[in-house]
Structure 1
Amino acid sequence: MALDITDLTPPPGFERLVLAQDPEAGLRALICLHSTRLGPAAGGCRMWAYDDDRAAIHDVTRLARGMTYKNAMADLGLGGGKAVIIGDARRDKTPRMMQAFGAAVDALGGTYWTAEDVGISPADMAHAATRTGFAVGLSGASGDPSPWTAEGVFRCLRVGAAHAFGTEDLSERRVLVQGLGHVGLSLAEKLAAAGARLIVTDINEAALQDARDRLGAQVCAPEAVFDQPMDIFAPCALGGVLTQRTAAMLGARLVCGAANNQLADEDVAAALAARGVTYLPDYVVNAGGIISVASEIHGQSDAWRLDRLGAIADRVARMLHQARQTDALPAQVADRMVEEMLAAPRAA
């Protein structure tokens, strides 16, 4: 059976949702386009062993919407989209699967650009690129976007610290990094170099041992995260970790991390604020990776990437100032800024 692309009914406000299947290649994937108003949709491909299709659709739609907001806020001339491959990346992924995924992306005719996300590496994306010109984040081009994401989060975290504590100095600040993948580990290294008292958690024992040995990090069990005394919480794993229950337990005064969709629902931002916790919207602070990818899409130089990376922290500072002036949540300020961009007349 050849590759099959089936259009599903997208949620209200979304442009397109497709199911891509190639049983011989082991591919079952969803690609979601939330908005192409500001340009072609761009966003990474994640591979995850979802419990069922409903869970996969929930994840891909939330992520695609988040990419619209992220790309708009970072001024990248791109819309928002996302892809998820259903399966265990450690067990099920093959070059043939990734080639079939590339063919699925190509079938969308340039309306969606893909790159790495959880479970997908630059080498995997290179296999996809053999079947499409719309796969980026390739070695020898913009490369792994993770270091750019980590650098952007680190810069924003320092701005957030100045807001929450009166100084951006991280010496002796207790920072808990949840998740030691490519981005989380890179962020942990930057925090350790800045003198932070590092606490880390992950399900990967080797990553924990490395952080303990190299960075002097304290290790905590994943289920004990919200019992830890900390100043700053940096979620760098999967989304939805901040619920009404965990927000009530959190001891930090600042939340700034790389994970997408950190809040289980929008009301959690208000619950955090009521407890004196500053939450920096994830789609604003974690834009470094898509900035790197966008430079490849647009054929731009490192100077272009660095300019937009530097602008992330400035944008957070303005957002926090405006939130304080208007007595609004930073997340509300950020959302309003993006909604105004999406509502503005299209440029000629």
Structure 2
Amino acid sequence: MEDVSLSAKQQLPTAEYAVEVAHLHKEFGSFQAVTDLNFRIAKGEIFGLLGPNGSGKTTTLNMISGLSAPTSGEVKVFGLNPRKQSNSVRRLLGVVPQETALYEELTAERNLAFHAELFGYRRRQKGERIQAMLELAQLQDRAKSRVKTFSGGMKRRLSIGRALLHDPWLVYLDEPTLGVDVQSRNVIWDYILKMKQEGKSVLLTTNYLEEANALCDRIGIIDKGHLIAEGTPAALKAQFGSSVLDLEITGTALEDVRELLLGVAGVQSIEIIENRVAVSLASLNEGDAGTLLPVILRKVTDSGGVIRHMALREPSLDEVFLSLTGKGVRD
């Protein structure tokens, strides 16, 4: 069996990438959960893996963490095979699952101590790391309290502290701010950004697109087992359009407005969102503003529409995500 005992500080692995996924396939009988998936996570990078329910995210993450074997293809974590070199990967990987999975009847201190014992910490090192993680989670004054008395945000912070206790170089966070208050969310965001400053790599899944936009260096969007888009948040939003013109219109059917404007040069796409029309513009510089916007406004008014409100803004990551994956509810 591989030795999993730790020094006080793990050395950064020499592999070029934190995670490499190459031509990854996963089948469950006749069902293709993941098909020819390819992406890399650089050292010191926060990478967001986004997708609707049933997209293949969980299956992919299980293969990266070594919980599931690929049908074909390859996964490497710092150059190591998560299945064949599981103990070595476990030393390098910290996991914060969506469910906190803490021992509710134990104190915060004992939860951390149990984790430290699993990783072979000696007594002095164990005490130092536990205190460091309690400080990180801002739970020093609740060290002796049972976890069942904690709020959702406190449990989430303790879960992150537990995942970081053995000083991993890759941290996987599954919905890290799900169900927590704004204050805890901001603290958790600070943790994540601090990990990046320390040179750690972070693999993040979230359904809060503003969270991905705020934290991630790059984002991969997966749907039906395929990686359908990858890039920086700015680059992905640019695919949707350089600007979005929001129009609140009365006096005519919004679907008619949509059909009318789709033929205008410079209009990339149009979404109807509640009582407004969001017009994605492929390019809008100072010269375009003087010609394209009047054309759009005139077409709306000529069709009998009355513009109650208009605003020009940048596209959001939510719009990019919905344009790529659709609006249908997934179970």
Which structure has more RCO (C-alpha within 8 Å, separation ≥ 6)? 2
Mark the structure with the bigger radius of gyration: 2
| TM-score (normalizing by structure 1) | 0.26
Q: Which has the higher strand share?
A: 2
| TM-score (normalizing by structure 2) | 0.27
